[in-house]
Structure 1
Amino acid sequence: MAQIELLAEYVVLVDESGSPIGTAPKSTMHDADTPLHLAFSCYVLNPRGQVLITRRSLAKKTWPGVWTNSFCGHPLPGESIPDAIDRRAQFELGLELDDVTVTLPEFRYRAVDSSGIVENEICPVYLASSSREPVPNADEVVEFAWVDPATLRRSVLDLPWAFSPWLGLQLKEWTDFGA
């Protein structure tokens, strides 16, 4: 895994149906005209049924400092999403995951942050579990919390500006999570 992190990361560009049509360096993505690309979101539950939420690093290009799901990422060209989830869980949070399952396989969104940067992703949503405590990578995560899913849902409804737009959109579609 360490070798993958050292390589220039590429994202998979996709057409409207989600079929791969090419790749692009991650460093050139996420601007005012971000092309549609493949991503994923993952929510991690602990043995007490609490969900891990993370606050994005202030150095992140998009939505710095906001609270979001456990972690997100982009599969590398030729990498399966489950393998990408394992890679990013280790890289961002030092976590090994169990029971990774897709919950919103068709999730897609487009959002624009206050700086004008666009997220434009086909982004299936996954649920996983872990009995370990995260050890966050400071370049990715500035803090984390384990919360009751119903509390998370209420918080996102009451304070949407404090959370990533994809988190709010995912919870609107994922009606049985924290209901």
Structure 2
Amino acid sequence: MPQTDTAELVVLLDDDGRTIGSAPKAQVHHASTPLHLAFSCYLFDDAGRVLLTRRAVHKRTFPGIWTNTCCGHPAPGEALQDAVTRRVREELGVGITDLRCVLPDFRYRAVAADGVVENEVCPVFCGRAVGQVHPDRDEVADHVWVPWQHMRAAAEFGWAISPWAAEQVPLLDAAGIGHRD
């Protein structure tokens, strides 16, 4: 069930990935970020290219960095697939077909240059974009469709894309995702 409060909440987790509560997103990301639930999504077009986005420069975590198509947090009680569909529509203005969870157990911790920590259980989804991209500039500074091999090359240089995408790309490769190139 989606939240009705205006404050975006994130689902807090224990070390075993069990829900232990929720907290306002604005209060969660700091130097001691608690483990919480998130998701990553990679969308492909009919040519097999993947949509990369550049995070808005005012974002709290990893501002201005290039990353996968969309990341976000499900609201308490919201199904992950519903959250992915919602955030992709809100951030990029596109729909999704063939959405599937390809890395259900992905978990990472990353520290930004300013000391802000991401600490997430972050299942990874892939799907196909439907429609033209119309990004919300409060979320996405830029976007580009690239062949998967460009994403793979960016992941080899950890500084070129977000730390979570740099970790996810080799795992996606191993799972056979993006091999239309």
Structure 2-normalised TM-score?
Answer: 0.92
CA RMSD of aligned residues (A): 1.5
What SS does structure 2 have at the residue aligned with 1:97?
strand
Structure 1 segment 22-171 matched on structure 2, within 5 A: 22-157=21-156, 159-171=157-169
Q: Is the 8 A contact 1:95 1:133 kept in 2?
A: yes
- CA-to-aligned-CA distance 1:131-174 (integer Å, 9 cap, x gap): 322100001101100011112101221x3212100000111322
Greater Cα shift, 169-178 or 143-152: 169-178
| Counterpart Cα distance in 2 of 1:178 and 1:166 | 17
Greater Cα shift, 71-80 or 123-132: 123-132
1:48 deviation in Å?
0.8
Cα pair distance change 1:147/1:5, threshold 3 Å: farther
Count of matched residue positions in the alignment of Structure 1 and Structure 2: 176
| Counterpart Cα distance in 2 of 1:6 and 1:17 | 28
| Counterpart Cα distance in 1 of 2:32 and 2:62 | 16
Q: Which consecutive unaligned segments of at least 5 residues does structure 2 have?
A: none
Q: Is the 8 A contact 1:29 1:35 kept in 2?
A: yes
Q: Is the 8 A contact 1:10 1:24 kept in 2?
A: yes
What SS does structure 2 have at the residue aligned with 1:91?
helix
| Counterpart Cα distance in 2 of 1:178 and 1:160 | 19
1:23 deviation in Å?
0.4
Which residue in 2 is equivalent to 1:177? 177
Sequence identity of aligned pairs in percent?
47
- CA-to-aligned-CA distance 1:13-66 (integer Å, 9 cap, x gap): 011121101000011011000000000000001111110000010011111111
Q: Is the 8 A contact 1:45 1:128 kept in 2?
A: yes
Structure 1-normalised TM-score?
Answer: 0.93
Equivalent position amino acid for 1:10 in 2 = L
1:6 deviation in Å?
7.0
